[in-house]
């Protein structure tokens, strides 16, 4: 009897239970993807890992190996620090119902562990919407498990401690388990720690479901502003919500202020440009005319006394300041313009009578705006 039991262990691959560990049985929907973790001993860190398909170990065939190119439906990733390699399977069907996690050993039999996939076209017996969830240090994370059969859930650290309903401690993190929706269950991990990261197995009856948790440090922005980052997992799917409204509103106000300021600056600039153009035109219209004529008086037009006088010189000067007319205008219209007339006469005369007084130089100066005359006499030298 013992001999047949030993043969059964050899065929089932259970003789290597201490070398490789994995799930026992997983319920999966046809066409669904699945992650399966496989734990191995530290002495196998650098060995080749692979997935083998077949009910019997002696006749199983390779599906994927870690030292070969990865395939579209199957891939292997190896975390040597945690000594866990993960097999990713996509678009599954009942062709892959019997599988083995295995490690190649050069000088002996390969280490391996058998697991089974139970396929269904409906809802799996035990499932989550996402096997990979994320949390933050010091925060809580909840995982919603879907069940089609009644029964309590037990959760274990992969190859570690377990917690049954209603609560317990796993590696310093409290785990609370409660029933929801009649047959569903919610597993909440309270006060996450960096060491809480890793694989967990939750099970009910013969079925297990592996879930991987990644715990991150809080972001610098959240720590600085004091705004807590809330992490939750609904139906097994993690989501991080941030109060984006407090960031969007100030940013929108700032953009609006910049746009209004730019519009005002453009309008003022345009107004200034339009004001400078008439001023330039007006400045160009300002014209000053100045004429100076130096001449002697015609002797035929002088009186007898004036002819006897030695007229040295006569200087006529006219200065007109005004706007340059753009068109011919009448004399009445011109009188409205700003006009200044100036005349300066310097004349030296000999007296007709001997009075004994010195000869005087007389200057006649006229600056007239609307016929106003000023006489100025210069005293004798």
Render 199-233 in DSSP notation, one character per residue.
EEEEEETTEEEEEEEEEEPPPHHHHHH-PPPEEEE
**Position 374 in a domain:** no
**Position 381 in a domain:** no
**Position 101 in a domain:** yes
Q: CA-to-CA distance for 141 and 230, rounded, in angstroms? A: 9
Q: CA-to-CA distance for 337 and 273, rounded, in angstroms? A: 29
Q: CA-to-CA distance for 295 and 315, rounded, in angstroms? A: 7
Q: CA-to-CA distance for 234 and 243, rounded, in angstroms? A: 19
Q: Are residues 64 and 10 in the same domain?
A: yes
Q: Assess whether the previous peptide bond of 166 is cis (omega < 30° from 0).
A: yes
Residue 248 has pLDDT above 50, yes or no: yes
Residue 134 has pLDDT above 90, yes or no: yes
- Across 97-104, average pLDDT: 96
In this structure, are residues 131 and 26 in contact, taking their beta carbons and an 8 Å threshold?
A: no
Q: CA-to-CA distance for 361 and 348, rounded, in angstroms? A: 5
Q: Which domain holds residue 57?
A: 2-120
Q: CA-to-CA distance for 80 and 229, rounded, in angstroms? A: 31
With bands split at pLDDT 50, 70 and 90, how would you rate the model's confidence at 375?
very low
With bands split at pLDDT 50, 70 and 90, how would you rate the model's confidence at 230?
very low
In this structure, are residues 145 and 186 in contact, taking their beta carbons and an 8 Å threshold?
A: yes
Q: What percent of the chain stands above pLDDT 90?
A: 44
Q: Are residues 116 and 194 in the same domain?
A: no
Q: Are residues 132 and 109 in the same domain?
A: no
Residue 298 confidence (pLDDT): 52
Task: Give the least confident one: 6-10, 270-274, 282-286.
Answer: 6-10
Residue 218 confidence (pLDDT): 82
Residue 41 has pLDDT above 50, yes or no: yes
Cα-based angle 196, 200, 206 (whole degrees, multiple of 5): 160
Residue 180 confidence (pLDDT): 84
- Across 271-275, average pLDDT: 79
Q: Are residues 36 and 109 in the same domain?
A: yes
**Position 152 in a domain:** yes
Position with higher pLDDT, 89 vs 252:
89
Predicted TM-score (pTM) of the model is 0.55
**75-113: b (≥16 Cβ within 10 Å) or e:** bbebeeeebbbbbbbeebeeebebbbbbbebeeeebbbb
3-state secondary structure of 68: coil
Task: Give the least confident one: 91-105, 151-165, 270-284, 293-307.
Answer: 293-307
**Position 71 in a domain:** yes
Residue 150 has pLDDT above 90, yes or no: no
Residue 264 confidence (pLDDT): 92
Residue 274 confidence (pLDDT): 76
Residue 291 has pLDDT above 80, yes or no: no
3-state secondary structure of 248: helix
Residue 116 confidence (pLDDT): 97
In this structure, are residues 318 and 290 in contact, taking their beta carbons and an 8 Å threshold?
A: yes
Residue 249 confidence (pLDDT): 82
Q: CA-to-CA distance for 93 and 29, rounded, in angstroms? A: 8
Q: Are residues 93 and 164 in the same domain?
A: no
When the pLDDT of each residue in the chain is averaged and rounded to a whole number, the result is 73
In this structure, are residues 212 and 131 in contact, taking their beta carbons and an 8 Å threshold?
A: yes
With bands split at pLDDT 50, 70 and 90, how would you rate the model's confidence at 316?
very low
- Looking at 99, 120, 141, which one is the last position of a domain? 120
- Looking at 80, 105, 120, which one is the last position of a domain? 120
Q: Are residues 103 and 157 in the same domain?
A: no
- The CATH number covering residue 141 comes to 2.60.40.10
In this structure, are residues 16 and 100 in contact, taking their beta carbons and an 8 Å threshold?
A: no
- Across 196-211, average pLDDT: 94
Q: Are residues 179 and 200 in the same domain?
A: yes
Q: Are residues 20 and 107 in the same domain?
A: yes
Q: Are residues 142 and 236 in the same domain?
A: yes
Q: CA-to-CA distance for 146 and 164, rounded, in angstroms? A: 17
């Amino acid at each position: 009897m013992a001999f047949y039991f030993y043969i059964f262990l050899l065929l089932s691959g259970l003789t290597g239970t201490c070398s490789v560990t994995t799930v026992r049985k997983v319920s999966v929907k046809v066409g669904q993807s699945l992650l399966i973790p496989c734990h191995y001993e530290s002495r196998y860190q650098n060995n080749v890992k692979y997935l083998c398909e077949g009910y019997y170990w002696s006749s199983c065939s390779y599906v994927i190996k870690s030292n070969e190119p990865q395939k579209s439906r199957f891939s292997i990733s190896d975390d040597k620090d945690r000594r866990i390699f993960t097999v990713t399977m996509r678009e599954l069907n009942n062709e892959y119902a019997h599988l083995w996690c295995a490690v190649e050993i050069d000088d002996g039999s390969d280490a391996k562990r058998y697991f089974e996939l139970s396929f269904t076209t409906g809802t799996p017996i035990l499932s989550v919407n996402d096997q990979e969830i994320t949390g933050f240090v010091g925060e809580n994370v909840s995982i919603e498990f879907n069940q089609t059969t009644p029964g309590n859930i037990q959760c274990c650290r992969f190859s570690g401690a377990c917690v049954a309903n209603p609560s317990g401690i796993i590696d310093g993190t409290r785990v609370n388990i409660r029933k929801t929706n009649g047959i569903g269950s919610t597993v909440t991990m309270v006060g996450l720690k960096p060491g809480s990261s890793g694989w967990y197995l939750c099970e009910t009856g013969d079925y297990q479901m592996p879930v991987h948790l990644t715990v991150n440090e809080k972001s610098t922005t959240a720590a600085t502003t004091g705004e807590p980052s809330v992490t939750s997992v609904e139906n097994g799917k993690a989501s991080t919500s941030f109060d984006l409204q407090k960031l969007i509103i100030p940013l929108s106000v700032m953009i609006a202020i910049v746009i209004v300021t730019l519009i005002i600056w453009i309008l003022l600039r345009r107004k200034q440009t339009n004001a400078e153009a008439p001023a330039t035109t007006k400045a160009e219209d300002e014209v000053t005319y100045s004429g100076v004529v130096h001449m002697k008086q015609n002797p035929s037009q002088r009186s007898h006394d004036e002819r006897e006088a030695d007229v040295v010189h006569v200087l006529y000067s006219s200065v007109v300041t005004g706007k340059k007319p753009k068109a011919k205008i009448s004399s009445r219209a011109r009188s409205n313009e700003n006009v200044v007339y100036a005349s300066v006469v310097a004349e030296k005369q000999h007296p007709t009578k001997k009075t004994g007084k010195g000869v005087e130089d007389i200057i006649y100066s006229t600056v007239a705006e609307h016929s106003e005359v000023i006489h100025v006499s210069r005293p004798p030298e």
